Structure 1
Amino acid sequence: MALNRRGAFKLATTLALLSSKPTAAGTGQGAGTRAAVDTQAGALEFELGMPTARTVDSLYQALDHQSAVMSYLWAIPIVGMESARQMLVDNAGARSGDFVRVSGYRDVSAMLGSNVTTPYVFAFFDLSRQPLVLHYPPGATAGSLIDWWDRPLCDVGITGPDAGRGAVFVLLGPGQQAPGELPAGAQLLRSRTFKVLLFCRGLDADLAQVETVFSALRVHPPGQQPAAASTRLLRFKPEGELTSMAHPQGLAYWQRLANALRGEPVEDRDRFFAALLAPLGIKFDRPFAPDARQQAVLEKAAIVGEATAKAIAFRKRIPGMRYRPDTHWEYLIAPGFDNAQDVPGGTLFEERTAFFYEVTGTSAAVLTRTPGVGAAYLAAYYDAKAAPFDGARSYRLRVPADVPARLFWSATLYDTQTRGLVQNAQQIVDRSSRQDLAKNADGSVDIVLGPTPAPGLEKNWIPTTPGHSWYVYFRLFGPLAAYFDRSWVLPDIQAL
């Protein structure tokens, strides 16, 4: 009923706005009783004030298209989470409770917005049958436990409440009660969804030490001893095509959404979208089986939805996105973004669309305002003339000396179409202060971004591919005060 009322309201609004200048249909009955109006939905015809059968079909078609496009944007966070799960299933054979180490160019190329500077571990947990106990080991790691709408439950590692000393978490799904006996010092985490994702990165430069820490992860049902848990640490398959974490296109997007929603509760904030999706063949509690008309609507809406997401992400109209007025660098995450995605007075709709179209997974640490803690991200999508970065041209990024990062900094390139790592034969996608880079006399570093290296700067080169546009993230791990007060300047990327 809610959808029908909305459709009636939209129809009434259209008539109120447009009926002041009707075009007579030429029947002799007068413009007030039979008229045709040209609109974005086509020519709307009325007889005695009532829409004709053809007009009704046209309006419902337009309404379903509009509903599907808005639902596409609304679903971007949860489709991204389900895509992360599918990546782990397809590439590593992972099940609920398995941990998957992701590192190196090939593995990370399947991810959204990630970098090869640090190795990752992912896992998904299905709480639909029972709560789970997670033993998170001590060590130099940082990450987050997040629900299926990409809302953090708790940071883990050095940015978490344990500050890298290790912790025990009891994960509870919607409506679940805490077990009678809890492990000593365990923290209860209540998820609003039955599926939860863990992602964390190893920050130790010694990869052997990172492997040791990750191997100590354990998950088990309440009442079982950690030593008895049959926890697996998996890797991606070494050969064959890898499934990407990117949002799928066309009808596959909606299939992925239906998979993500199945078995999850309908939250109050999502009831309106549940009503919009029902006439399109997508329901929280039923298999995805759209008819031919619904499929056609969904396929077209996916094209418009993805294009709109690109516009929102790469040409943001969100206030306050520019890091400094004298350069084109932007914050990746909108200032004032709340990981809950809801604030008094509304939902951060475009803010979350932009963020989660580019990346999957967030944490409290990426919203840090404490110098020396967490990570900060700046992004550049266009050159100084507002043109897309061209993989056939060469550019220079001059990184000043004394970057305000307590740990290290890195610059990573991403393909505009995939939002994954740029693909090149050299398998080089980033440069960082952890590497032996050539420096200028003043301590600055020139990073060359282009199809060929500049003489003498081969160690500073990130190869690009003609025919592909790209964008760049500049990461500061442990950002310091000069970043937060914006007294530090990162110059624009210049064409050579």
Structure 2
Amino acid sequence: MPTLKSKTFAAATISGLLFQSVPIAAEMSDLQRDTVVRRACEAAIWAIPAVSVYDIELSLQRDAGADFGTLGYMSEPMDSRHGFLTANDVTPYTFGGLTTKDGPIVIEVPPAADKAAFFGTITNGWQVPLADVGTTGSDEGKGGKYLILPPGYDGDVPEDGYYVLQSNTYGVHFAFRPVAKNGGTHEDQAAYAQTLQWYPLAQADNPPPTKFVDVKQNPVNTLPVYDLTYFTDMNAVIQREPVLEQDKVMMAMLASLGMVRGQPFEPDAEMQEALLEGLQCAYGTMQEHFITKSVIPIWEDKQWGVWDFAEGQPEAGFPYVSDEMVLIDDRAGGSYSWITYLPKNLGGGTFYLTGLNDSEGAPLNGTDTYKLTVPADTPADDFWSVIVYSMQSKGFVTGNERVGLATPNLPDMQVNEDGSADVYFAPEPPEGLESNWIPTGEDFFLLFRLYGPSDGWIESGWKLPDVDNVSP
């Protein structure tokens, strides 16, 4: 935004009241600055789903050196070198960011293979789910061609052979997991992932080969960063996407921050300082929502919780828009500041338990030692997994070789006589229990995943024990 220059407003008569000429100083007044801070705070909360998914797309180009349209796949699952909101370290991902700016595109999902099958979701530029794919999606594991139409498209649409999706943004994003089956290996998953294709509809008769980059070998950091790049990323989305009717009021607020479609975003030092103060407000607001409103207890006598989505959103496919309003706080602090790619239809073979506190109700911290006893009869037909996430970034705790433990690790862990396993969370491993230890070192929270949760497990009375603080 250009520096505010000194000028004078002409006197004006409004409702019979005379307002004398008022000079505007070259520097922001306290009132102007407060307005920028307030609006920057609300804008950052509003924009988090778009910024978050844009940063995933951007990371492929910035960190992996890929051209636009190149998809990321993984030869092995993620580790702490990867920045990704609450990702898992068990199943690799395939993901990308595409555009319909030049016309409809096709994402061609392969049929489920003997050793791997896709599970995931295609979203628009605001992470509103367009369709689930794979065994729990529209194609039911048979494979299919998902045709995404750009906003306002009035051209020809093929009558047969496609799942047709109308998007109200040009941006098209997705993350699929090539889930292993029948003893499939990471090599099987990686090979299957690279059978995915995308191409413009105009080239459907002779589609160009889809390009891939291995982001295991080229680690990417997709996490939104709460510095000035948050606003430059927001501006990149604003410049390339159509303005939705529901967002016109926010666009007016963005204009007062110097963010206008078709114009450069060039905040001066004073504006940058005010923007960053507003961003700090937004981060704190989303953080408080996450801690106090996003998780509700699953059992009255335990600390473990489940995600508490806004009323009606799971049934509606997570548009985060009701008949009366855009649910800005729920979609920000309640979802997209810490998770990505919500499915259009909940359920898909995974159940998440969230741990924010220990058995005494105290928040989990990075200095104490904690123990979780995972029962032998944990109701996961496939496997269970527990992962440590940074309370600050919502990604893996960085700098540690291990970020989680799961059923496949049991042969290398010390297991109790009853078949249960004690998992320790601490900055340093308890003596002699290194194989049962997940490093911390900063405030954290846990996601305990049940892969293939057994039928009727909730009604069975099974409960996951709380995390105990066992610090010496």
Q: In which range does the TM-score fall when normalised by the shorter chain?
A: 0.7 to 0.9
**2:62 alignment counterpart:** 90
Q: Answer with 73-82 or 443-452: which moved more.
A: 443-452
Residue 125 in 1 paired to residue 98 in 2?
A: yes
Residue 421 in 1 paired to residue 393 in 2?
A: no
Matched to 1:231, the amino acid is: T
Q: Contact 2:81–2:398 (CA<8 Å) still a contact in 1?
A: no
**1:388 alignment counterpart:** 363
The change in CA–CA distance for 1:59 and 1:303 in structure 2 (over 3 A counts) is same
Secondary structure in 2 matching 1:162: coil
**2:5 alignment counterpart:** none
**2:163 alignment counterpart:** 187
**1:213 alignment counterpart:** 192
Q: Answer with 284-293 or 405-414: which moved more.
A: 284-293
Secondary structure in 2 matching 1:491: coil
Matched to 1:117, the amino acid is: V
CA distance in 2, matches of 1:255, 1:357: 17
Q: Contact 2:390–2:444 (CA<8 Å) still a contact in 1?
A: yes
Q: Contact 1:172–1:178 (CA<8 Å) still a contact in 2?
A: no
Q: Contact 2:80–2:403 (CA<8 Å) still a contact in 1?
A: no
Matched to 1:444, the amino acid is: S
**2:438 alignment counterpart:** 462
Q: Contact 1:482–1:488 (CA<8 Å) still a contact in 2?
A: no
Structure 1 gaps, min length 5: 1-46
Q: Contact 1:150–1:361 (CA<8 Å) still a contact in 2?
A: yes
The structure 2 residue matched to 1:476, chosen from 444, 450, 454, is: 450
**2:327 alignment counterpart:** 348
The change in CA–CA distance for 1:180 and 1:115 in structure 2 (over 3 A counts) is closer
**1:298 alignment counterpart:** 275
Q: Residues 403-461 of structure 1, C-alpha deviation per residue, up to 9 Å, x if partnerless? A: 23332221011122222212344x11111123324433333221111233345644322
Q: Contact 1:394–1:449 (CA<8 Å) still a contact in 2?
A: yes
The change in CA–CA distance for 1:481 and 1:66 in structure 2 (over 3 A counts) is farther
Q: Residues 209-251 of structure 1, C-alpha deviation per residue, up to 9 Å, x if partnerless? A: 2122112111122243466422112113847xx5521112222
**2:7 alignment counterpart:** none
The change in CA–CA distance for 1:227 and 1:435 in structure 2 (over 3 A counts) is farther
Match runs of 1:424-443 below 5 Å: 424-425=399-400, 427-436=401-410, 437-443=413-419
**TM superposition score normalised by structure 1:** 0.80
Q: Residues 176-195 of structure 1, C-alpha deviation per residue, up to 9 Å, x if partnerless? A: 2354546x521111111101
The structure 2 residue matched to 1:134, chosen from 107, 110, 114, is: 107
Bigger Rg over Cα: 1
Q: Contact 1:76–1:357 (CA<8 Å) still a contact in 2?
A: yes
Equivalent pairs, count: 437
**2:298 alignment counterpart:** 323
**1:259 alignment counterpart:** 236
The change in CA–CA distance for 1:175 and 1:400 in structure 2 (over 3 A counts) is same
Q: Answer with 347-356 or 158-167: which moved more.
A: 347-356
**TM superposition score normalised by structure 2:** 0.84
Secondary structure in 1 matching 2:296: coil
Task: After TM superposition, give the deviation of residue 260 of structure 1 in Å.
Answer: 1.5
Secondary structure in 2 matching 1:97: coil
Structure 2 gaps, min length 5: 1-16
CA distance in 1, matches of 2:31, 2:377: 59
The change in CA–CA distance for 1:403 and 1:284 in structure 2 (over 3 A counts) is farther
Q: Contact 1:100–1:234 (CA<8 Å) still a contact in 2?
A: yes
Matched to 2:222, the amino acid is: M
CA distance in 2, matches of 1:334, 1:169: 27
Q: Residues 3-61 of structure 1, C-alpha deviation per residue, up to 9 Å, x if partnerless? A: xxxxxxxxxxxxxxxxxxxxxxxxxxxxxxxxxxxxxxxxxxxx999999899943333
**1:28 alignment counterpart:** none
| Structure holding more helix per residue | 1
The structure 1 residue matched to 2:342, chosen from 351, 362, 368, is: 362
**1:62 alignment counterpart:** 34
Q: Contact 1:82–1:256 (CA<8 Å) still a contact in 2?
A: yes
Task: After TM superposition, give the deviation of residue 162 of structure 1 in Å.
Answer: 1.4
Task: After TM superposition, give the deviation of residue 79 of structure 1 in Å.
Answer: 0.7
Match runs of 1:218-229 below 5 Å: 218-225=197-204, 228-229=207-208
**1:268 alignment counterpart:** 245
**2:140 alignment counterpart:** 163
The change in CA–CA distance for 1:135 and 1:327 in structure 2 (over 3 A counts) is same
CA distance in 1, matches of 2:81, 2:245: 36
Match runs of 1:268-287 below 5 Å: 268-287=245-264
Matched to 1:460, the amino acid is: N
Root-mean-square deviation (Å): 2.9
Matched to 1:361, the amino acid is: Y
Q: Contact 2:54–2:97 (CA<8 Å) still a contact in 1?
A: no
Q: Contact 2:80–2:398 (CA<8 Å) still a contact in 1?
A: no
